[in-house]
Amino acid sequence: MLRQFLLIFVFLMLLTTTAMAETNSQLPPEISKETAQCIQCHKDLNVNIYQQWGSSKHYRANVGCYECHQAKADDKDAFEHNGKHISIIVSPYDCQKCHEKETTEFVNSHHAKAGRIMGSMDNVLADVAEGNRGMKTPGFPEGVAASAVNGCWQCHGSVIKVLEGGKLDPATWPNSGMGRVNPDGSEGSCSACHQRHEFSVAQVRQPENCGKCHMGPDHPQIEIYQESKHGIAFNANKHKMNLESSKWIVGEDYFAAPTCATCHMSATKDMSVTHNVGLRIKWNNRPALLKQAHETDKQWGLESAAVTGDMRKENMKKVCVACHNINFVDGFYTQYEAQLNLYSEKWAIPGSKLYNKATEVLKAVQGDGYANFSNKIDYTWFELWHHEGRRARHGASMMGPDYTQWHGNYELARNWYGDYIPELKEVIELGKNSQNADAKKYAAELETLLEEVLSDENHRWSVGKEDPTVKAERQKRIDDFMKRYK
């Protein structure tokens, strides 16, 4: 009997030891001597950083300064500090040592590739039209535009330049841009969302956390959220949101409202947390022409390209049904995608064709003197799709009717008929009166194209060719309205 007991005891001990080994996360058993050495100085020199770290989960897991900032002697940004090699930047590859799943998801996401916008039309504006080469640093002896450094790069990320001795070029650092290109070759910045050094889960779930970048005239998601029913509910019930909870499942741990994290990242009853924020978004509302999110992932060679737009839409619907019934959700998507089609058919497709042809005219007329964004029509078209068109789409996607209407659809119509069409006619006349044969040819083609667009059912009302039946129906609604409010 005793022998059987001993055998069972040994078996249980082995089982327990195995289980402990399998769950061992290789966290330090105590604060390391290297981190303890860091603390000796930095708790006085940087008491705010020391206290933030002290209230973090990192502190409770014995992960400290050295575990995150340690470097190898041959790392590009390594420098010697009190007998140790360290680096200022903690890159996704550094975080990956403990957070492998989260890092893998993030570095393969659209977010981490935000730096790839550099060189796009937006960045040409910042470099040339808005800026000059007046900011000179060791990394940019010929100069760089301060407008890009302080604007575009702070959200999209800079390409970090390392100077002698591991110092970082001041044009590229400080920078917590989402798509920052780090000295170790990684793309992305975890601290863009997880603010150093507390890494508070409550902070990162706040909608304002996303508002640093997702705001303003071209992508006002935080403003749209605040005016939406979701934002109103959050602000009224923030105390009910259970933001500090480790397990944070919508419909289970909180019910009052969703935040940005709820819809795009956080767990539901049948989906786990993801750090790839694009996997619940079908439509990429950034480009001039409609595009599904997985198409960009495919261009960039990301594995997530296999998750198609329709699959992403179903993922988002799984979030929605935590609070709404499926009829509500389906009705929302019907409304939203109808707005996308309106934008595409009425403004984006014809507008893009007209702009491309107008550009051919201007290039032929101006020759070597032509430069993008040196003509008024460049700005008019840019704002039509980049500002008003995005706002109409983003507003509808997040149920913000004022942004959809007055900051979106209304401004699209006003600027199309009030500015864009007259400017296109000016370009036509400019080409016709040019001595350049190509300019005359392109101007004639532009004139024909413009006539076709204005004769389309979307625009023919503006040249007095509206369907009489439709016009009569609208007049009846006006008459009925006037009778009600006499």
Percent of the chain with pLDDT over 70: 94
- Establish if 248 belongs to a structural domain: yes
Are residue 116 and residue 166 in the same domain, yes or no? Answer: yes
- Contacts with 345 (C-beta within 8 Å, 6 or more apart), sequence order: 458
Are residue 308 and residue 347 in the same domain, yes or no? Answer: no
Nearest CA among 414, 423, 418 for reference residue 375:
423
* Rounded alpha-carbon distances, angstroms, from residue 146 to 134, 173, 218: 7, 13, 21
Q: Which two tokens stand for residue 386?
A: 């980049």
Are residue 139 and residue 224 in the same domain, yes or no? Answer: no
Q: Is the peptide bond before 156 cis (omega within 30 degrees of 0)?
A: no
Domain at 255, CATH number: 1.20.850.10
The pLDDT of residue 122 is 74
- Establish if 365 belongs to a structural domain: yes
- Establish if 115 belongs to a structural domain: yes
Are residue 358 and residue 444 in the same domain, yes or no? Answer: yes
Q: Distance between terminal CA atoms of the chain?
A: 101
- Which residue intervals of 46-185 are DSSP H helices? 47-54, 57-60, 65-69, 92-95, 100-107, 121-124, 146-147, 153-156
Average pLDDT over residues 287-298: 95
Average pLDDT over residues 210-223: 97
The pLDDT of residue 25 is 57
Are residue 164 and residue 257 in the same domain, yes or no? Answer: no
Q: Which two tokens stand for residue 9?
A: 């005891």
Average pLDDT over residues 360-365: 98
Average pLDDT over residues 245-267: 97
Cβ of 284: how many Cβ atoms within 10 Å? 18
Query: Whole-number mean pLDDT of the chain?
Result: 93
- Establish if 264 belongs to a structural domain: yes
Question: pLDDT, tens digit, for every residue of 71-92?
Answer: 999 999 999 999 999 999 999 9
Q: Which two tokens stand for residue 214?
A: 């997702």
How buried is 74 (Cβ within 10 angstroms: 0-12 exposed, 13-18 middle, 19+ buried)?
Answer: exposed
Number of domains comprising the chain: 3
The pLDDT of residue 123 is 74
Nearest CA among 350, 336, 385, 369 for reference residue 436:
369
Rg (CA), the chain: 28
The pLDDT of residue 10 is 42
Of the given ranges (110-124, 223-237, 263-277), which has the lowest mean pLDDT? 110-124
Is 458's pLDDT higher than 70? yes
Are residue 320 and residue 333 in the same domain, yes or no? Answer: no
Nearest CA among 427, 286, 419 for reference residue 348:
286
The pLDDT of residue 27 is 85
- Domain range enclosing 156: 100-192
- Distance, in Å, from the CA atom of 465 to the CA atom of 340, rounded to the nearest integer, reads 25
Average pLDDT over residues 352-379: 97
Are residue 154 and residue 188 in the same domain, yes or no? Answer: yes
Average pLDDT over residues 216-228: 97
Are residue 264 and residue 302 in the same domain, yes or no? Answer: yes
Is 3's pLDDT higher than 60? no
The pLDDT of residue 402 is 97
Is 239's pLDDT higher than 90? yes
Is 8's pLDDT higher than 80? no
Are residue 110 and residue 156 in the same domain, yes or no? Answer: yes
Average pLDDT over residues 404-415: 98
- Establish if 159 belongs to a structural domain: yes
Is 405's pLDDT higher than 50? yes
The pLDDT of residue 275 is 97
Is 336's pLDDT higher than 70? yes
Average pLDDT over residues 39-58: 96
- Establish if 175 belongs to a structural domain: yes
Are residue 173 and residue 221 in the same domain, yes or no? Answer: no
Is 369's pLDDT higher than 90? yes
Are residue 227 and residue 283 in the same domain, yes or no? Answer: yes
Are residue 318 and residue 295 in the same domain, yes or no? Answer: yes
